[in-house]
């Protein structure tokens, strides 16, 4: 599906605080309007600043079936003009976005199992993809590996657990590098989980999103397991 970018007026409906200076911003379009986009694409937010417009790109975290609104997950950047502006917004605030853009999308048809690996706000495009795939009845295996330092730094934790319980083809594996004694799940960095959970490359492809250091480590781990480079796709957030 080809999507045509355009400018959209949006209104901030709600803000969910995930902790660790990370929030989800729920943006509504005008009544009767909806954005057609492909899971994995992004929008540019137009932030007014001292008489100028600053553009910042954010992956869409909601699914295209929910096209009457957009969900963006954003981590506050110390000294960042746009995230400081976002943190000051209240429900009802109006501004503009431009999009959709981006080629970090899944091919059609998808005749292979999917492995998604993310840290931080790199979860955004995969949330859009997973929600869409499950909504349309995709039956191939989907594995989500998500890495964080602490349990309190996992966005959408309850949602992932619910989806995994309701969809047997979806496996969710969070791993913590600095777990507390109460944590009963996986520990260590996401790249250390490739051999454990994704050891057989046959019929699988890996998609990675996050910071460059993590992406490189996951790539190297996947190649050691026999994944050809053309079956590893990534998007960097730095």
Does pLDDT of 200 surpass 70? Answer: yes
**211, pLDDT greater than 70:** yes
Question: Are residue 135 and residue 232 in the same domain, yes or no?
Answer: yes
Given this model, what pLDDT does residue 22 score? Answer: 95
Give a yes or no: residue 108 inside a domain.
Answer: no
Q: What is the mean pLDDT of residues 24-50?
A: 95
Burial degree of 194 (CB within 10 A; 0-12, 13-18, 19+): buried
Return the percentage of the chain with pLDDT > 90, whole number: 92
* Number of neighbouring beta carbons within 10 Å of residue 175: 23
Domain boundary among 75, 101, 127: 101
Domain match, 36 and 95 both: yes
Taking the complete model, does pTM exceed 0.85, yes or no?
Answer: yes
Domain shared by 195 and 159, yes or no: yes
Does some domain include residue 107?
no
Average pLDDT over residues 146-166: 95
Task: Say if residue 218 is in the same domain as residue 118.
Answer: yes
Confidence category of residue 100, pLDDT binned at 50, 70, 90: very high
Same domain, 26 and 118: no
Report pLDDT for 13.
97
> Which tens digit of pLDDT belongs to each residue from 54-95?
999 999 999 999 889 999 999 999 999 999 999 999 999 999
Residues 84 and 134 in one domain: no
Range of the domain at 219: 113-236
Residue 1's pLDDT is: 64
The domain that holds 217 is classified in CATH as 3.40.50.80
Gap between the Cα atoms of 136 and 44, Å rounded = 27
Q: Give the CA distances from residue 82 to residues 33, 45, 72, 237, in Å, rounded to whole numbers and listed in that order.
A: 26, 9, 13, 16
Backbone angles phi, psi at 166, to 5 degrees: -95, -15
* Same domain assignment for residues 70 and 141: no
The span from the CA of 1 to the CA of 6, in Å, is 16
Strand blocks (E) in the chain: 6-19, 22-29, 42-49, 52-59, 69-75, 94-101, 113-119, 142-148, 170-176, 186-187, 204-210, 232-236
How much is the pLDDT for 19? 86
Domain co-membership, 118 together with 68? no
- Over residues 154-182, the mean pLDDT reads 96
Pair 138, 228 in one domain: yes
Residue 204 lies in a domain: yes
Identify the domain boundary among 101, 133, 167: 101
CATH number at residue 57: 2.40.30.10
Point out the domain boundary residue: 101, 123, 154.
101
117 and 232 part of one domain: yes
User: What is d(CA 109, CA 102) in angstroms, rounded to the nearest whole number?
Assistant: 19
Mean pLDDT value across residues 224-230: 96
In a domain, 177, yes or no: yes
Determine the average pLDDT of the residues in 171-188. 96
Q: Tokens at residue 147, please? A: 């890495």
156, pLDDT greater than 80:
yes
């Amino acid at each position: 599906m080809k999507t045509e970018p355009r400018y959209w007026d949006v209104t901030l409906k709600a803000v969910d605080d995930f902790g660790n200076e990370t929030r989800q911003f729920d943006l509504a379009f005008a009544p009767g309007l909806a954005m057609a986009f492909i899971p994995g694409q992004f929008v540019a937010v137009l932030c007014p600043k001292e008489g100028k417009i600053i553009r910042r790109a954010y992956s869409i975290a909601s699914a295209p079936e929910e096209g009457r609104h957009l969900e963006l997950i954003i981590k506050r950047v110390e000294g960042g003009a746009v995230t400081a502006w976002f943190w000051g917004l209240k429900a009802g605030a109006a501004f503009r976005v431009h999009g959709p853009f981006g080629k970090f999308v899944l091919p059609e048809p998808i005749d292979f199992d999917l492995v998604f690996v993310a840290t931080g706000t790199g979860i955004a495009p995969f949330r859009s993809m997973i929600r869409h795939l499950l909504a349309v009845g995709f039956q191939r295996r989907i594995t989500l590996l998500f890495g964080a330092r602490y349990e309190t730094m996992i966005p959408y934790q309850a949602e992932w657990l619910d989806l995994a319980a309701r969809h047997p083809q979806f496996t969710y594996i969070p791993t913590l590098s600095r777990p507390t004694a109460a944590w009963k799940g996986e520990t260590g960095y996401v790249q250390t989980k490739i051999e454990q959970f994704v050891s057989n490359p046959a019929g699988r492809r890996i998609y990675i999103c996050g910071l460059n250091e993590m992406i490189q480590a996951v790539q190297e781990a996947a190649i050691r397991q026999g994944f050809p480079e053309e079956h590893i796709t990534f998007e960097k957030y730095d």
